Amino acid sequence: MARMTMIEAVRSAMDVSMERDDDVVVFGEDVGYFGGVFRCTQGLQAKYGKTRCFDAPISESGIVGAAIGMAAYGLKPCVEIQFADYMYPAYDQLTQEAARIRYRSNGDFTCPIVVRMPTGGGIFGGQTHSQSPEALFTHVCGLKTIVPSNPYDAKGLLIAAIEDPDPVIFLEPKRLYSGPFDGHHENPVVAWSKHPLGEVPEGHYTIPIGKAEIRRQGAAVTVIAYGTMVHVALAAAEETGIDAEVIDLRSLVPLDLETIVQSVSKTGRCVVVHEATLTSGFGGEIAALVQENCFYHLEAPIIRVTGWDTPYPHAQEWSYFPGPERVGRALQQVMEG
């Protein structure tokens, strides 16, 4: 075991995968020599050479399109989009191509690619360095969508994603890169070295895609979260003293419905939290599934705590980001319901 930040864990996952499988290639903007703007690929080019880890032109559709062609040949590309906010030029390649190649060719061709994208806010990133576009992927059949919340999961899930036979969107909450963040921006930054999930095995291991993890056992209410909001939800539970059960989904598609249903059937209450905007966000899907599957167990309406239906602002960062106070208020409200 070693202490790793999320950046080091993500890098270690690629390192382990490249070491084990010659078909794994890594590329994207600034990913090669420089090692990535977040240092996630640092040292990989020096270790594996320029044909395994290299810089790409600033063309998201080109990066994803080329990766799809490489996958059709038989490679396993793990590519990076510098910010999830810049995935839109590649959206055609991701949704109409990567997601559907296996289906439309009846398995004649497949697309085992991973597209890594730093996601989420809380870093004064403004409109185009803070978005959480996961719902634009979860709505696309044929894609798998993953959002880790800690270094241990990030490494295990990324290795699983690289080994997965289908295209995986891997969203890395950049606010969690260096340390856990519970939304208390006024407090000093905490490092992963002080957190149990900053302990990461150095070698190969995987975390199964499609399995949620209960981060806090509780009996009063189920909080469903992923990414940065897992830490916010945990803080809100502690601060309100409400005995919340916090589920970290980890994988949005495929979704661990069983864990959700078991928990809500036990608690009878449900709060869904995400950074992304409310309307047609992934929280709507979760709320619908909980309503369909747990209707007779529900003792209060399901509440969603999310980003507002606005572009992500700069100066008003902490009025936008759904922090522990807003989540805490929702917990109190759902307990009164």
CA pseudo-torsion sign 99, 101, 106, 107: negative
Among 3, 39, 42, 65, binds other proteins (CB under 8 A): 65
**Is 52 a residue that touches other proteins (CB under 8 A)?**
yes
Distance from C-alpha of 119 to C-alpha of 282, rounded to nearest angstrom? 15
How far apart are alpha carbons 209 and 36 in whole angstroms? 25
Q: Show the binding pattern over residues 110-129: x = contacts other proteins (CB under 8 A), - = does not.
A: x-------------------
Applying CB under 8 A, does 295 fall inside the site for other proteins?
A: no
Tell whether the torsion through CA atoms of 275, 278, 279 and 280 is positive or negative: positive
- Torsion, Cα of 287, 256, 274, 158 (10° steps): -160
Nearest-angstrom CA–CA distance, 69 and 62: 10
Residue 313 DSSP symbol: P
Known catalytic residue: 139?
no
Tokens at residue 149, please? 């919340």
> Closest distance between other proteins and the C-beta of residue 75, in Å?
5
Residues in the chain, how many?
A: 337
Write down the least CB distance from residue 253 to other proteins, Å. 8
Residue 254 as a binder of other proteins (CB under 8 A): the answer is yes
Based on CB atoms, which residue is closest to other proteins, 96 or 128? 96
Question: Cβ contacts of residue 96 below 8 Å, gap of 6+?
Answer: none
Write down the least CB distance from residue 165 to other proteins, Å.
Answer: 4
Considering just the CA atoms, what is the radius of gyration of the chain in Å? 19
Among the listed residues 255, 260, 271, 331, the single contact to other proteins using CB under 8 A: 255
Site for other proteins contains 142 (CB under 8 A): yes
- Candidates 9, 67, 115, 305: give the one binding other proteins (CB under 8 A): 67
Residues that bind other proteins (CB under 8 A): 25, 51-52, 56-57, 59, 61-62, 65-75, 77, 89, 92-93, 96-97, 100-110, 141-142, 144, 165-166, 210, 253-255, 257
Catalytic positions are: 129
